[in-house]
Chain A
C-alpha cells in the first residue's frame, strides 16, 4: 500500500511539478517562502547531533551537492546561499563538481527525479524528502543523513521516520509542551484560539518522536498527560495513536505515515505567528521550533486573527486545513459548471419540438427553472472540454420524457414540502449495503452484503431479458415493434438477481440510459451489468482493495470509483484500464460523485477532507476541510454551484464550489449521514441517516443568506450562523429503518430506501 500513497506522495508531487509547473510548483515555492519568513535556525544546528551517523566525507559532500542542485533547480536561491555557507562549499563547487550527476538528472527526461542514475537515486530520495519537508540545510545536517540506504521493502517509511530521530531529553518533552501551553494560555484572547491550533500537531509529533526514540514510558506519560487537552474531533486519530507505543509499530502504520508525509497545515494570522515565533526564540525552545519547522506548514495571512468558532468550523481533517493556495489558484476552474447540462437539453428541446411540433409550453417553463440563460454561461466549461458520448435516439426520447415530467413538477419550498415514499427492504437479513434508483424512478437496485445485486422494477412494467441469440435470429427485423419482439416474455419478473461479486457490494449506480448497472464491491472489482440481458459485461480491475463507492457520470460512459487504496479512478466503460487516477487523499475514499457537468468529480474520504478533481487535467482543484468524521454522502446542487456533504459526525456541510468556501452547517442528525439529495430545482435538501430519519432542509434559504453576506472569499474565513433549526423543515422518523438512499423523482416526489432492521 505504501507504494501507492505513503512516502511516495512527496515524490509524486515532485513529478507533478514537472507536468504542472504553473500551479503546484507555485504552491511549493510558497511553502518554502513561508518557511523563509523565519530566520533559519542556524543556531540550533550546533545543538546536539549526538547520534549523527558516521557518513563518509565524500558521500556527505555529494549529498550536499545534490541538495544544492535541487534547490537551485527550483529557484530557491536564498536556500542555496544558506546551505552553501553552512557547508562551507566554494561558490563554484556546485557548478563544477555536481555537473555530472546534475547533468544526468536534468538531462534525462526533463529532470524527472526518479530517472536519475542508480547511485543518485538514493541521494535524491533524500533530497526529495528533505526539501519537500522544507528541509533546510541545518536540519539536514542534524538529522537527515541517518536513514541513508533505504530498507528493501519499505524504503519510504524509514526515510520518513528518520526525521524523528531527534535528540533531546525525553523527560523534557512534557516540560516543553506545558511551557508552550502556559504561554498560549497567557496570550491575548484574540490570538489564543489561533495558536491553540498548534497543540494537536505538536502533540502528535512529540509523541511520535518519543516513540520513535524508544522512550516508551515517557511517551505514555506524555500521552496520558496531554491527550485530554486535544479537541474532541481528533479522538479517532488519538485512539490510533494511543495504541502505537513501539517503534516497530510505526512501520506500516498508515495514520502515522499520513501524518509524517503530509505536513499539517495551520492557518495563522501574521500577528499570532510572530508572537509564537518570538516566544519560542526567546525561550530557545528548539525542540518545538524544529517540529514546527519540519512538520507543520503554517499558512500565514494578514489581517484579523480568526475566532475559535471559525477555526473549529474548518479544522478536523487528518492533515489540518487546506492551504489557501489549494483552493485559490483554481478559482476560475471552479465556477465552470452550470448550463452545460441545460444547453444540450435546449438543443434537444428544439429538436423535440421539430420532431413533435407540439410542446410549446416547455419553453417558458424552462426559463423559470433556474437556468440562467440559454447563452453560454461564462462559468461553464466548453461543450467539448471533455468528450461526451453522442446522444442516441433513445436518449433524446428520454430527454423529451424528462421535459414532459418537468412540466408537471411540483414547486417545492418551505410551505410546500415534498411527499416522501419510503421503500423498505424487508427480510434483508444478509445486509443491504447500497441502493440506487434510476433517474426516471422506474427501477431500484440494491447491493447486499452477501455479494448479490438485485434489481426491482417499481412500475408495473416487468423486467425482461433479451432473447437468446438463436431466438433473435428468428425475429422479423423489419417489423415496427422489433424492440418489443426481442424481449423474452418468459423471463418477465419483478426482480432479478445478479451474481458475480465475491464480497459485499458497497456501491451501485445506474447508467443514465438505464441500460447498464455499475456495482463495486469488497472484492476490489467494479462490475458493469447489462440490464437488457441481466448479465455481467465487464469486471474492471484496478483497485486492489475494497471499492467503497462508484458512480456513473450524468452523461453516461464515464464513471468514477474510489476505495480503500486511497486513489480515485476515472474509467470509461469501453476501457479496461482507468483513464485518470486521482491520488492525494490520505485515507480511504469513502464516497465519489460526478459533477452535473461531468467535468469534475468530487471525492470524500476517511481523512475527513473532500476533494474536487478536474477530469480533464486530473488535478485536485478544491480541498474542503471541516468535517470531523469520514464522509459518507455527497451531493451537488442541480445548478452545480454548491456541494453538500454528510459525514459520520451527523452534520451536513454546504460548500460553495466557485469560491471554495464552506457556507453552511446543518446540525440535527445524530448518526452517520448516508444519503443526501437536492430536489430537482435545488430548493430542498434531503438528508437520510443511520438515525432512521429523513430530514428536509431549506436549501434556498441556506444559499440566499450567503449571497446577502459580503463575501470574504479573499481570506476564506467564514462566519457560520447557527441557523440549522431555522433551515430544518421537517424530520420524519422511519421505523428502525436506516435511510441509505434518497432520490427525487422528476416530479419532485422524494423516494427513500433502507432495510428494515427489526
Chain B
C-alpha cells in the first residue's frame, strides 16, 4: 500500500490557480506564472509540514480524527498565529460552487435575526462529564451487559450463517473470546487445542444459563401477555439488547409455533403480538437472523395470506396485520435476499401464484397484493399494473353485481383501496402528464378513473415535497461527502452543453469537472440538486412542474452573489437542440439525497412542458433507466 501511495505524495502540489486566486483576493493582480509555481510548491510543502505536526497532536489527543484545533496547535509550534474562527470540530465551513467555468469558494454566513435568537428558549445545557463503571470482564469472562459490545458481532453471525467453513479457521476474532469462555483449561494450551475448541463451539452455545432462561420466560410471557406496558418494555428489550444471540433459536421457534397455533385458533391479537416480536428481532442491530429465516418467513407469510386470521372477519381489522406482516416480509427480503437463497423471487412467486388463482379468497388476495406491493415500485410495475384491468373487473363484479356476501364486499373494497394506494404513486412516476380520465379508463379499466384522481393527487404532493426540499437544498454544498454529479457532454448531445456541477471539495485540492453520470450519493450525504432544463430563463425557474407556474427561482434568490455574476450557483443548463423525443421535450433531473424519509421525492420528475423542446440522448437514457428501475433509485439514498 505504501508503495502505491508514495509516488503520489511526491507529486501532490496545489494548483497554481489557487495561488492566483489568493493573490487576487489580497489585491495582487497579474502574478507571474513562475511565481505561482514557486509559491504553490512552497505552500504545499508548508501545508504538509503543518499537517504532519498536527498529526502529533491528534495522536496525543487520543483521537482518530484530525481536528482544526490540531492544526492550530501545529501552527503555534511553528510560531505562526493560529487561524481564528475555525472552532467547529466537525467540519470546515467552506462551501464550493462552480459554473460557467468559474469556481468559487465562499463562507456560508446566514443572516441571523437576533430577535429569533432572543426569543427561542435556551437550549438545554450539555451534560457534564461523568464517570461510569462497569465490568468489562469478570475473572476472564466478559459479561453480556449493554455496556459491553455484543459477544458475537453481527458480522461474525453473518459469516457463521453464510460461510460456516470460514468460522472454523483459527486465528480470527475468536481467540480471545473463546479463551475467555473456556478459560482455564484451554488458555494455557497451545494452538492446536484452540482449533478443536472452536470447532466445538457451536454445540455449546445453545445451552442457556439460568439467567437467560429466566429472561426468556419473562420476555415471552410479556410479549404475549395482556399488559401492554410490559409488552412494550419486552419488545424494547428484544430490539436493543446486545446479548440475545444465544436465545435467538428459542425465540424463532416460539414465534413459528405460536403462529401455527394461533392461526388455527384465529387469535388475531396473539398473531399481532408475535409479528411485533419478529419486528423487534429484526430491529435489533446485533442480531443476524438469516439462520432462522426458515422458521420466521413461513410464520410471517402465514400472517399475510392466511384465509382467515380472526374470528369475525367482517369486523376485526385483520387487514392491518396483513399490511404489517407484508412490510416485515419486504424488510427481510431487502436484508436477507442473496443470490443463493433467492428469498425475494421465491416470495414473489408464491404471492403471484395464489393471486392469479381464480378461486383465491379476497383476504388472501389482499395479502398477496400487499406482500407484492411492499416489495417496491419495481414489482408493482411489472406484476401489479398489468393486472389492474383484470382485478378491476373482479372488483366491479363484487361491488356492482348482486350482493353475494358482506365479507366479499369488504374484501373487494379493501383490495381496491390497496391497489389504488400503491399503484398511484408508481403510475405517477412512469406515466407522462397530462392525466386524462378517459385514457386511464382505457388503460386500466374499472379502476382507471379512481386511479387518475389518485395519481394527480400523488403528483401534487410530490411537487410540494420537492419544493420544500428545494428550499432547504439550495444552501447546500456540504463539504464532507464527495459527490460529483455532472452531465457528460456526450457527443450525441444536442446544443452546447456546459456541465452543471455541484462539486464538493473534500480537501484543499480543486477538482476539475469530469464527466460522469450522477453517482449515487453517499449515505450521510445531504441534499443535492442537479437540474437540467431548457435555456429559457423562465423554464429554468421551474423546479418541479405541475402547473407550469413560474415561481421565483429559489436558486438564484438564495445566493445573491451568484446572481450578480449571472452564474447561478446551481447551474441550470440547457440543451436546446431539436428534441429527439418529442413527447418529453424537457427533462429535469432532480437528484436529491435526503434521509430516507424523503426518498419519495427522489423520483425523476419528468415534466412535459409544451413550450420547450429539448432532450438529449443521455438524458433520455437516464430517464429510461430510472423508469425501468424505480425501485433501485428509490433505494439509493438510504
Contacts and interface: CB of A to CB of B under 8 A. Distances in A.
Contacts of B134: 421-422, 424
A504 B52 contact: no
Given A725-B171, A729-B179, A456 B137 contact: no
Nearest to A434: B62
Given A235-B2, A427-B130, A725-B191, A415 B60 contact: no
Contact of A243 (B49, B59, B77): B49
A735 interface: yes
Interface string A418-429: 111111111111
Interface string B39-76: 00110110011001000110111111000010001000
Contacts of B139: 416-419
B129 interface: yes
A432 interface: yes
B7 A695 contact: no
Nearest to A701: B188
A223 B133 contact: no
Which secondary structure characterizes the binding site on chain A?
mixed
Given A417-B183, A424-B131, A228 B3 contact: yes
A243 B135 contact: no
Contact of A433 (B62, B129, B147): B62
A240 B131 contact: no
Contact of B133 (A246, A421, A738): A421
Nearest to A413: B188
A232 interface: yes
Interface stretch (A131-139, A372-380, A441-449, A526-534): A441-449
Interface residues of A, number: 81
Contact of A431 (B52, B61, B176): B61
Contacts of B63: 431
A306 B157 CA distance: 45
B45 A249 contact: yes
Nearest to B52: A240
B73 A522 contact: yes
A267 interface: no
B129 A414 contact: no
Contacts of A429: 126
Contacts of B175: 725, 728, 731
A224 B7 contact: yes
Interface of A: 220, 223-224, 227-228, 232, 235, 238-240, 242-246, 248-249, 253, 414-433, 444, 446, 448-449, 454, 456, 458, 495, 503-504, 506, 522, 545-546, 548, 564, 588, 590, 606, 630, 632, 648, 672, 674, 690, 693-696, 725-726, 728-735, 738, 740, 752, 755
Contacts of A432: 62, 129
Given A246-B41, A427-B130, A588-B56, A674 B62 contact: yes
B39 to A, nearest CB: 12
A8 B254 CA distance: 78
A228 B142 CA distance: 44
Contacts of B61: 431, 433, 449, 504, 506
B149 A423 contact: no
Interface centre among B6, B69, B191 (most CB of A within 10 A): B6
Contacts, number: 190
Given A731-B175, A732-B180, A734-B149, A423 B131 contact: yes
B191 to A, nearest CB: 6
A730 B148 CA distance: 15
Nearest to A424: B132
A242 B6 contact: yes
B88 to A, nearest CB: 12
Contact of A752 (B52, B128, B136): B136
B10 interface: yes
Given A415-B188, A422-B133, A546 B48 contact: no
B9 interface: yes
Residue in A423, A449, A648, A755 with the greatest tally of chain B CB atoms within 10 Å: A449
Contacts of A248: 42
Contact of A220 (B10, B64, B190): B10
A444 B57 CA distance: 24
6 contacts: A227-B6, A235-B2, A421-B134, A422-B136, A427-B127, A694-B136
Given A449-B69, A546-B73, A735-B148, A417 B137 contact: yes
